[in-house]
Structure 1
Amino acid sequence: MKDVVALVTGGSRGVGRGIALALLTEGATVHVTGRTFSEAEVGPEGNRAGSLQGLELEAANLPGRVVIHHCDHSNDAETERVAAGIRAGGGLDILVNNAWPGYEGMVEDGEFTWPRPFWEQPSRRWDAMIGTALKAAFMMSREVAPMMISSHLGLIVNISFWAAQLYEGNAIYGIAKAAADKMVADFAHELRPHNVAAVALYPGLVRTEAVMRNADYFDLSNSESPRFIGHVIAGLWRDPALMSKSGHALVAAELGRQYDIADIDGYRPVPLTAADFAKS
């Protein structure tokens, strides 16, 4: 993928960082946005460990080239600035909309408020998931789509989850993920004449920094490294039948099976279905 240019939003930590590192391992040039520029900005409890500078250091010996962008996607002007810089550099092949502040502030005054009914949810949670994350996905897609259309080639990926289809403990979360899926469905319809694909991609349980800090509470036997989904995105890009998948919500582990992609430890995650989540 040495000639491929990608953009991963929200890549200073977690799934986004893993996707960026995987695409860099594949040889791509990867632009990465994030709010946390340096490790000095990490909170005293380390609950936001991970930074753009840290990613830059980790990527130093990988085949691809990383370009970091300090960006808060709650500010549309910053989103537009990143896109303008990429446009000036020559264009973009892959956009991964991953920026997601929706998990912040899940505990308030010692109480885990995430599973409260919708009438007891704080409005800031809507602002984070819908006003920032969902809007950022739309705004960045809007900014970069013309680049892809002009080259008659491109892929837009929204990182989503089964909450789009099933109740997952928080109504706002479900609304945000359902909208992310609908977004790519409609994008795909409008982009199809231009040979540009748009998909939603569902990870499994990912061993992010936050998950590993609470590993005792999770069954990690079928979990995925943060890099796995990035290698799956690379597989999607190489798929000659990519346009047939455009507009759909896809499960990363299922694509991993189709493309014969193992995780970095050699494990091949078992794809989960809606029925699996319904049982839980």
Structure 2
Amino acid sequence: MSKQDLSGKVAVVTGASRGAGKGIAVALGSHGATVYVTGRTVNEGDADLPGTVAHTAELVTAAGGQGIAAVCDHADDGQVADLFDRVRSEQGGLDILVNNATFLHDQLIEPGPFWEKPLDMTRVFDVGIRSGYVASWYAAPLLVARGGGLVVFTSSFGARCYMHGPAYGAQKVSVDKFAADMAVDFKPHNVATASIWMGMLQTDRTRRVMAREPEKYAGFWEIAETPEFTGHIISALYNDPKRAERSGQTVVGAELAQEYGITEADGRVPPSHREMLGAPVQAHPAVVQ
């Protein structure tokens, strides 16, 4: 995997106490970025899975970047405003925003129709959809001030196929459309956007799910992506001379990684699930003001 230099660049990764956000933040740090790590978990044990914003920030620094813990509840617009005020004050601008924060209900993957699941499954519309819009709204002036930048939404094949029910699917479709439409507004300012479909991830949450039904998930861990994988893709995309031409697209992360020559640390090439789960749908080029 080629080194993609992010020295002197500033990134915000939302929802990075653990999981995908944690891995993305650490990977950006390995390329030299200063990374603001956001999340709600301050103390180990506050959540039912391991991870805190401070620990992720420490890992970012250990990887070669500068990790900055930023406790933030993305359901609270005031806290989000304070976050980006802090970035402006301390850094003067922003180069990369990764909208990863989302609400994952404990019963998300339970079988059954949506009406038999708790109504608060819809909290993903607040932290998952609205939160990505709000963070982008506050980040936009900082990105524009830099004269270029990148906004990424983490998404999945659930935008195309039935996956975990309609609430989850609606969230993924929404962020894909955010990437497409924000690209139009950002284009005059040389800020690019992308929505990246991740595959199954090697996270503590996934490990817990697989432990409950090992037969069902046999062989999945071996082909799953590490959380850092998407971070390396984001770094390469930011450094791509054709970044502006790609703006607004929804992409399969594993496919973009192959194009950039990115592999896992052990040399493994995670597969695309396009044939099994569907392909991204790109927005029509028409612009109606």
Could you state the TM-score of these two structures normalised by the residue count of structure 1? 0.90
**Residues 1:144 and 2:146 aligned together:** no
| Structure 1 letter corresponding to 2:133 | F
Q: 1:9 aligns with which of 5, 14, 28?
A: 14
Alignment of 1:213-252 (within 5 A): 213-215=208-210, 216=214, 217-218=216-217, 219-252=220-253
Residues 39, 53 of structure 1: 8 Å contact kept: no
Alignment of 1:69-80 (within 5 A): 69-80=70-81
**Residues 1:255 and 2:252 aligned together:** no
| Structure 2 letter corresponding to 1:96 | V
Q: Within 2, Cα distance between the matches of 1:206 and 1:167?
A: 18
Residue by residue over 1:122-166, the C-alpha shift from the partner in whole angstroms, topping out at 9 and shown as x without a partner, is 221112x10222111000000011111122201000101111122
| Structure 1 letter corresponding to 2:22 | R
Alpha-carbon offset, residue 62 of structure 1: 2.2
Q: 2:153 aligns with which of 152, 158, 174?
A: 158
Q: Within 1, Cα distance between the matches of 2:111 and 2:169?
A: 12
Residue by residue over 1:98-120, the C-alpha shift from the partner in whole angstroms, topping out at 9 and shown as x without a partner, is 0012x23217xxxx6x4432333
Q: Within 2, Cα distance between the matches of 1:186 and 1:119?
A: 31
In the other structure, the counterpart of 1:92 is: 94
Secondary structure of the corresponding residue to residue 11 of structure 2:
strand
| Structure 2 letter corresponding to 1:35 | R
Residue by residue over 1:197-221, the C-alpha shift from the partner in whole angstroms, topping out at 9 and shown as x without a partner, is 1110011111011112334342223
Alignment of 1:124-143 (within 5 A): 124-127=120-123, 129-143=124-138
Alignment of 1:55-204 (within 5 A): 55-89=56-90, 90-101=92-103, 103-106=104-107, 114-127=110-123, 129-204=124-199
Cα 1:193–1:82 change in 2 (3 A) is same
Q: 1:41 aligns with which of 37, 42, 46?
A: 46
Q: Within 1, Cα distance between the matches of 2:49 and 2:130?
A: 22
Q: Within 2, Cα distance between the matches of 1:214 and 1:139?
A: 31
| Structure 2 letter corresponding to 1:34 | G
| Structure 1 letter corresponding to 2:176 | D
Alpha-carbon offset, residue 88 of structure 1: 1.2
Q: Relative to structure 2, which stretch is displaced further, 61-70 or 213-222?
A: 213-222
**Residues 1:28 and 2:33 aligned together:** yes
Q: Within 2, Cα distance between the matches of 1:119 and 1:213?
A: 25
Q: Taking every aligned residue pair, what percent have the same amino acid on both sides?
A: 35
Residues 36, 52 of structure 1: 8 Å contact kept: yes
Alpha-carbon offset, residue 40 of structure 1: 4.0
Secondary structure of the corresponding residue to residue 7 of structure 1:
strand
Residue by residue over 1:165-199, the C-alpha shift from the partner in whole angstroms, topping out at 9 and shown as x without a partner, is 22113011111111111111110011111111111
Could you state the TM-score of these two structures normalised by the residue count of structure 2? 0.88
Residues 115, 170 of structure 1: 8 Å contact kept: no
Residues 225, 264 of structure 1: 8 Å contact kept: no
Count of matched residue positions in the alignment of Structure 1 and Structure 2: 266
Residues 227, 264 of structure 1: 8 Å contact kept: no
Q: Within 1, Cα distance between the matches of 2:60 and 2:178?
A: 31
Alignment RMSD (CA, Å): 1.6
Alignment gaps of 5+ in structure 1: none
Q: Within 2, Cα distance between the matches of 1:123 and 1:99?
A: 20
